[in-house]
Amino acid sequence: MMVRGLWVCKVRLWKRGGHPGLLPILCLLVFFCLLAVLFVDYIEIWITSLGMSRTGPAHGVVLPQSMPPTRPEEYLLMPSPLVCQRAKPYLMTLVTSAPDNQKARQAIRDTWGGEVQVRGHRVMTLFMVGQTSDPGLAKQLVEEARERGDLVQGRFMDSYANLTLKTLSMLAWARRFCPQARFLAKVDDDVMFNPSALLRYLTSNWGGSENELPELYIGRVHMRVAPDRNPASKHFMSEDLFGGSVFPDYCSGTAYVLSRPAVLKVSLAATALHLLKPLPPEDVFVGLCAHAAGITPTHCPYFSGGPSVPYGRCCYQAMVSVHHTKPEEMLRYWAEVHSTTPCSWFGVQTSLGICKVRSFFGDLLGFQ
């Protein structure tokens, strides 16, 4: 039907002499809209690059020359300290999870987190949790760690307000126990992650030789976000703590990726910045650390954040992360996406275009 419509356009466009009517212009417009849908990811990269701030690295924060060593005792539960030495993962994914989210963790193990080899590379998924005041739940966690061997528990109370501590703990763990991983991904436990799509993106852009790996901080970039100056808000930030009118651009906290050299620099900066009181929200904090370390974020259109992404089989094959996914949905989508043949380039681009447009208008109209 689409093709037929365009054909009508073509015939009318070329047959009619005299001055052009409204129809050809309309036809051209429709044609360009369809083209735009097909190349929505490239357009998004281009538009974002226009909006990102071009300020150079900040020098307001003094980075420590040496850092306090991370001791294994800081972690109450963790797999063998040799886990990365043995497996040498190319990609280490650390999923931030709350102690009582067992169902979400199980759904992840049964889907994307269960993969160990993707596109010829070793991948590993572990869960980051904090402490709980519920003794029954604490016991269950010990049991879960013994059975599954994939929990890392930091020494801090697990609460929403302490999410930034969880990230600090995660960065320190990765730096100390997993320097082998070329890339570190931080993912929330309600995110449908797609290691295969991520590795395709990473290897096609930065798959070259080992010593050329740049400092990368990749995800959905939030631009020009203003600090919350309302003292009653839970994200309140005083002017003493952060004087700027907007935060440095940062990646959405639902899922982002750091390259090995970036993990080192960002965690160094985090060691210097973690004394801020109160700690900023997790993603803003990582953005501030990256900024202090002179690392600018890279926008990848396949990461979600903000409006949710409606389900489309080929769209989900291309997306690296989709947030707000319930455990049941994760199981269902994963089975659907992987049971059938991979989508063609045309299939992926059309589906991606449609789900991006739907997500954009859904957000505009207020339903997600």
Ligand X SMILES: *[C@@H]1O[C@H](CO)[C@@H](O)[C@H](O)[C@H]1NC(C)=O
Point out which residues bind ligand X (CB under 6 A).
156-157, 159, 161-162, 165
CA 141 vs CA 99, 110, 149, 326: distances in Å: 7, 18, 11, 21
Nearest to 83 by CA among 118, 124, 143: 124
Query: Least Å distance between CB 141 and ligand X?
Result: 15
CB nearer to ligand X: pick between 31 and 156: 156
Count of CB atoms situated within 10 Å of the CB of 322 = 28
Query: Least Å distance between CB 162 and ligand X?
Result: 4
Using Cβ positions, the residue closest to ligand X within the complex turns out to be 159
Contact 247, 268 (CB under 8 A): no
Secondary structure (3-state) at 112: helix
CB nearer to ligand X: pick between 159 and 203: 159
Written as six digits, the tokens of 63 are 């980075």
151-157/183-188 β-pairing: unpaired
CB nearer to ligand X: pick between 102 and 159: 159
Contact 182, 213 (CB under 8 A): yes
CB nearer to ligand X: pick between 162 and 271: 162
CB nearer to ligand X: pick between 130 and 287: 130
Query: Least Å distance between CB 79 and ligand X?
Result: 22
Query: Least Å distance between CB 135 and ligand X?
Result: 16
**Interaxial angle between packed helices 163-177 and 260-273, expressed in degrees from 0 to 180 and rounded to the nearest 10:** 130
Query: Least Å distance between CB 169 and ligand X?
Result: 10
Q: Give the separation between CA 113 and CA 195, rounded to whole angstroms.
A: 9
